[in-house]
């Protein structure tokens, strides 16, 4: 099974980290290819970043379709371009926020999201609403670590995220932690051991969900909302995005 993981930001070291964490959790027959778009923001921390990441993500979906990928993971906690990607792809496409929230809801009545900057908390709430997880999501907590600082030596990312998780569990009386950034994937095991509650990283959650879907020969329904987009001309910089 070929799973393509798209890191919607263009930071190659983060794409490599996501790929390593995904491969470590994947089944023996699963081949993970982690890619990032060739155009777009270095990190995604606003609606603006998110909107401008989408053309690059869709280009990667088209490459995956050309290469015969079986399924896709969109590895950014805002799930940018998820529904458009589903319209283009034959196989399943899962976003890490939807994967993590759904997985969390299966093992606890409530979860807390621990994310990067305060300004991204609203985006996580929008997703909780969209996925019907409003009741289970007790709160969304900012660590105030910018995405790229997660990988910066000396940023104490692990310690800061650990403290944010501890404080979230006390404040929210929640039962699990959902990590609110793909760049936190490598912290998951360690945080689980330290905190004593389930910690869900969306990258691994999404890999395991697409493996299950492909294993069941299930794919995105093309009878309705996620049918292939209609052919039409696109102009300017977006001309190459016109579909036949």
Sole window of 60-68, 75-83, 193-201, 222-230 interacting with ligand 2AL (rule: CB under 6 A): 75-83
Q: Which stretch binds ligand 2AL (CB under 6 A): 20-28, 32-40, 66-74, 113-121?
A: 113-121
Residues in 77-106 at the binding interface with ligand 2AL, rule: CB under 6 A: 77-78
- Cα–Cα distance measured from residue 78 to residue 105, given in angstroms and rounded to the nearest whole number: 18
| Using rule CB under 6 A, residue 112 touches ligand 2AL | no
Overall size of the chain counted in residues: 244
Q: Which stretch binds ligand 2AL (CB under 6 A): 26-34, 76-84, 103-111, 226-234?
A: 76-84
Cα(60)–Cα(77) distance, rounded to whole angstroms? 18
DSSP string, 147-191: GGGGGSTTS-HHHHHHHHHHHHHHHH--SEEEE--GGGGGGHHHH
Q: Out of 54, 85, 181, 187, name the contact with ligand 2AL by CB under 6 A.
A: 181
User: Which lies closer to ligand 2AL via its Cβ, residue 100 or residue 162?
Assistant: 100
CA distance 202 to 73: 10
C-alpha–C-alpha distance, residues 33 and 71, integer Å: 11
Footprint on this chain of ligand 2AL (rule: CB under 6 A): 9, 43-45, 76-78, 115-116, 120, 147, 180-183
């Amino acid at each position: 099974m070929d799973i393509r993981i798209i890191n919607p930001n263009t930071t190659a070291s983060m794409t490599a980290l996501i790929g390593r964490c995904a491969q470590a959790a994947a089944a023996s027959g699963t081949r993970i290819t982690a890619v990032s778009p060739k155009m777009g923001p270095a990190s995604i921390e606003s609606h603006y970043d998110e909107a401008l990441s989408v053309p690059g993500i869709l280009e990667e979906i088209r490459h995956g379709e050309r290469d015969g990928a079986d399924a896709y993971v969109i590895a950014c906690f805002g799930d940018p371009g998820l529904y458009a990607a589903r319209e283009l792809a034959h196989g399943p496409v899962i976003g890490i926020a939807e994967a993590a929230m759904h997985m969390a809801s299966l093992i606890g009545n409530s979860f807390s999201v621990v994310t990067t900057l305060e300004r991204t908390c609203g985006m996580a709430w929008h997703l909780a609403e969209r996925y019907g997880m409003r009741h289970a999501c007790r709160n969304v907590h900012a660590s105030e670590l910018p995405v790229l600082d997660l990988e910066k030596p000396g940023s104490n990312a692990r310690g800061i995220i650990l403290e944010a998780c501890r404080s979230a569990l006390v404040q929210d009386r929640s039962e699990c932690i959902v990590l609110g950034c793909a760049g936190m994937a490598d912290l998951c095991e360690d945080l689980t051991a330290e905190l004593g509650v389930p910690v869900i990283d969306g990258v691994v959650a999404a890999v395991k969900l697409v493996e299950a879907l492909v294993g069941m020969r299930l794919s995105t329904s093309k009878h309705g909302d996620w049918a292939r987009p209609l052919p039409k001309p696109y102009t300017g910089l977006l001309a190459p995005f016109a579909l036949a």
